Every structure is written in C-alpha cells, then in structure tokens.
Structure 1
Amino acid sequence: MNNVLDIALEEYGVTEVVGKNHNPRILTYFKEIGHRWVTTDETAWCSAFANWVAFKAGCHKSGKLNARSWLKVGTKVKIPQQGDIVVFWREKRSSWKGHVGFFIGYSEDKKYIYVLGGNQNNQVNIKPYPTYRLLGFRSIKKTFKPILDAA
C-alpha cells in the first residue's frame, strides 16, 4: 500500500461532532494546510482532508478547499492506481460543487468507485460513489526526492 493510503487509513473513523462543539482533529486538517480561519467541522472538508493527507505524504496538493481544484493537481490518469485522487461532480456536472478522495477500486460491475475520503457521511471512511459522476483521476507524486544515506 502506498504512503497516501497509509496516512488516510490512520484517520479512518474521524467524525464530525454534532452540535456546537467541533472535532479538533478535523480542525487540525484545516490548520495544518494553512486554512486557520476555519473554526467549525461543519465547513465542507473533503478537500481539506485530501490536502492534509497529501501534505503529510509529501505529495502535490491543491491547497484549496473546493474538490474540483484537484482536477489541476498532479497528472491526469485514465487507469487509476490505489491512492490516486478521484474527483466527482455534485448536483450537476456543470456545478462548482464536487467531492474528492482517494481511489480504492471499482465495484465488480464498475458502476461504483470506492473512495477513501473525508466528509463522507461526515466522517473519514470508504464509500462507493456512482461512476457516472466521475470527473477525473489524478496521480499525485512526491514533491521531493528522499535524501539517501551517505554511507
């Protein structure tokens, strides 16, 4: 499994707090990617989660809170690998709204794409999304080369 999925899976089950309190872990996602102004877990956070995971993995990120911003990150791919970014439309294809997460796989009949992401029913989990809502897959590579031991 790749580093992106390892990091995302460690957050599995993180859930919004109902009411006036907010999950500090979700607020950490916003804070650590530079969106300190966000003070509520009611703010849409799928892109914040994807950015946080990419940041922790040392990969390219969108830096933005809208899901469709990921359509310009990394490299477009037709055949995704586990851990690649997957972007969907919401409401209608031409809307600005969307959803972003990490590709896990297709359902057997290919009608659904399983996604590991944040803000999926208000938590980090794996959920199927209809394939017809797909906008694209992106491969996000490391933004730095590892430093090799000089031994």
Structure 2
Amino acid sequence: MDKLLRKPYTFLYRGVVPPMLRAAVNLYGVEELAGLDDNPVILGWAHEVAATDNVGGWLKEFYTEDEIPWCGLFAAVCAVRAGSRAFNKCLAAREWMHWGQDVEDDDVGLGDVLVFWRGNPAGKSGHVGFYVGESPDGDFYHVLGGNQGDEVSIVKIPSYRLLGARRQPGERGHGRRVIEGGKVTEGEG
C-alpha cells in the first residue's frame, strides 16, 4: 500500500517474519473510505475469504460495507494468504480464541494472534490483531491489526485486555520483542 512502516517497526521488512504477519505487513495502511464510499480492497477480502472451502458464501453477502467491524476479516485474509484456513465465525474477534494453536501468555511472540476484550471483559465485543512487540514494562502490546483507527495500523493495546493468544498451525514461536514508543489506542474500530 502507500504507507510505509516507520521506526520502531521497520524490522518487519527484513529477517524472519511469520507468514501471517508478513501478509499483514503487506496490507499496512489500507483504510476505510470516508462517507458513503467503501474501500473495494476491504470488501474484496470478504470475497477472498468466502472462496475458501470452509467459510461459505454467506461472508461476502454479509460483508457489504467497510463500516462493518473488520478486524476479524483482516485476520482471516492474512490467514488465507499465509496458507492457513479461515473459519466460519472469523468476523467475530473473540472467536479467534478457537483457531490455531493455543499459546501460553509467557510464550507469546512475533506474529501470534492476540485476542482482546473491548468494552467489557465478560461481553461479546473484542478485537483481534498480530503481536509485533510489547512495551518494556509489559503494560502494552504493539499490535498490527485491521480496523484500528479505521485502517490497518500498529497501535499499543493495554496488556490487561488480553483474552488469549493463538498461533498459526504448524508455526513455532518467533520470540518476544521489546519496543519503545508507539501510539496507544483510544479504542479499535
């Protein structure tokens, strides 16, 4: 896309980056269109994910505008492009807790899928994105995700909101990364 990663995130352009995170980096900067227009790139993701054998056509019928929360759709298109399978409830952020391999909190690393609560820890709303790093004090995760400020971006999300982490099937851990700075989210979506 037109936007490039800035320091401290430029390390994502080089070295070993897990496949789903690589797919996410390639989509960095995609954003919703203001007003009544919809970004055809985001809408195209619904068609791409719906074309997989285990999701079904309902997704492209349901996902008709970029105002519909799309963090789960973003994670799903990254999974598909990385050679993994999406799943039927992939639009619901909290449903990502049932995908892939479980990751213990102390083993979370580069490229792992992070699932957060949004609004209320016991509620249904959530957010999903990819681990890029964490603050030196461990209070924040640096997360590359979709629908963060209406775009694919990297923001810092408080670590106390983490519900759990998952890893792409067949992938090994890629280690933790401490990152100074970054923008704290005011809320996703």
Gaps of 5+ in 2: 1-16, 51-58, 172-189
**Alignment partner for residue 80 of structure 2, among 55, 72, 82?**
55
More strand as a share of residues: 1
Q: TM-score, normalised by structure 1?
A: 0.90
Paired residues for 1:121-132 under 5 Å: 121-132=149-160
Gaps of 5+ in 1: 144-151
Query: Does structure 2 conserve the Cα–Cα contact (< 8 Å) formed by 1:60 and 1:140?
Result: no
Query: Does structure 2 conserve the Cα–Cα contact (< 8 Å) formed by 1:60 and 1:74?
Result: no
How many residue pairs were aligned? 143
Take 2:88 and 2:154, find their aligned partners in 1: how far apart are those partners? 23
Q: Which amino acid aligns with 1:85?
A: V
Aligned-residue offset at 1:142:
5.0
Task: Report whether the alignment pairs 1:67 with 2:96.
Answer: no
Take 1:8 and 1:140, find their aligned partners in 2: how far apart are those partners? 13
Hey, what does 1:119 align to over in structure 2? 147
**Alignment partner for residue 46 of structure 2, among 12, 26, 30?**
30
Hey, what does 1:21 align to over in structure 2? 37
Q: Which amino acid aligns with 1:119?
A: N
Hey, what does 2:26 align to over in structure 1? 10
Take 1:59 and 1:49, find their aligned partners in 2: how far apart are those partners? 14
The structure with higher relative contact order (CA 8 Å, sep 6+) is 1
Q: Secondary structure at the match of 1:138?
A: strand
Q: Could you give the per-residue CA deviations for residues 59-98 of structure 1, whole angstroms, max 9, x where no partner exists?
A: 2433321000100111111111211100000111110100
Q: Secondary structure at the match of 2:116?
A: strand
Query: Does structure 2 conserve the Cα–Cα contact (< 8 Å) formed by 1:57 and 1:142?
Result: no
**Alignment partner for residue 108 of structure 1, among 122, 136, 157?**
136
Take 1:125 and 1:28, find their aligned partners in 2: how far apart are those partners? 19
Hey, what does 1:149 align to over in structure 2? none
Q: TM-score, normalised by structure 2?
A: 0.73
Q: CA RMSD for the aligned pairs? A: 1.4
